[in-house]
């Protein structure tokens, strides 16, 4: 089994598409007005409008802007450089400036426009660098 995708359901797909393109510096393919994907080497971040919920059983299946349990994480080469590049843009969304965590990653935490928690991180200890070598 492989985890291949995480999907965010949103009431404002255009806002999230623009936000994640700015944060990642990568293009997002918007297949329809209701569905887009950011494809990375290891997984895909899908963004679906609330209108896509009709295919999964209706609006009661998921609610936009309600997440308080998951963190969307991106492995980056240098979190400090990304922070410098994004500091002004992320100002209204900032949770925590780059900080080294006890488990060996340096993390930048912020929220997206739908209030989802996002972590850009760089491994900084020998153990975590080795752990993530194959993911770069």
Domain ranges across the chain: 1-60, 67-136
Is the pTM higher than 0.75? The answer reads: yes
DSSP one-letter code for 49? E
Residue 58 has a pLDDT of 77
Residue 47 has a pLDDT of 97
Q: Tens of pLDDT along the chain (136 residues)? A: 889 999 999 999 999 999 999 999 999 999 999 999 999 999 999 999 999 988 888 777 888 888 889 999 999 999 999 999 999 999 999 999 999 999 999 999 999 999 999 999 999 999 999 999 888 7
DSSP one-letter code for 125? S
Pairing outcome for strands 94-100 and 71-75: unpaired
Residue 55 has a pLDDT of 80
Residue 28 has a pLDDT of 97
Which CATH number fits the domain 1-60, given the four candidates 3.40.50.20, 3.40.630.30, 3.30.720.120, 3.40.50.2000? Answer: 3.30.720.120
Residue 2 has a pLDDT of 86
The CA distances from residue 27 to 38, 47, 98, 105, in Å, are 7, 13, 24, 26
Which CATH number fits the domain 67-136, given the four candidates 3.30.70.120, 3.40.50.460, 3.10.180.10, 1.10.8.50? Answer: 3.10.180.10
Burial of 33 (0-12, 13-18, 19+ CB in 10 A): exposed
The CA distances from residue 49 to 24, 36, 52, 111, in Å, are 20, 9, 6, 18
């Amino acid at each position: 089994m492989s985890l291949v995708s995480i999907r965010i359901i949103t009431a404002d797909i255009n806002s999230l598409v623009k936000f994640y393109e700015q944060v990642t510096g990568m293009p997002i393919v918007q297949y329809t007005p209701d569905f887009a994907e950011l494809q990375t080497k290891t997984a895909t971040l899908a963004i679906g409008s609330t209108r896509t919920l009709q295919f999964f059983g209706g609006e009661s299946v998921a609610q936009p802007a309600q997440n308080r349990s998951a963190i969307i994480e991106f492995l980056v080469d240098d979190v400090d450089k990304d922070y410098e590049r994004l500091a002004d843009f992320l100002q209204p969304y900032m949770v925590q400036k780059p900080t080294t965590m006890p488990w060996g990653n340096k993390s930048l935490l912020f929220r997206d426009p739908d209030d989802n928690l996002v972590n850009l991180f760089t491994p900084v200890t020998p153990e975590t660098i080795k752990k993530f070598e194959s993911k770069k």
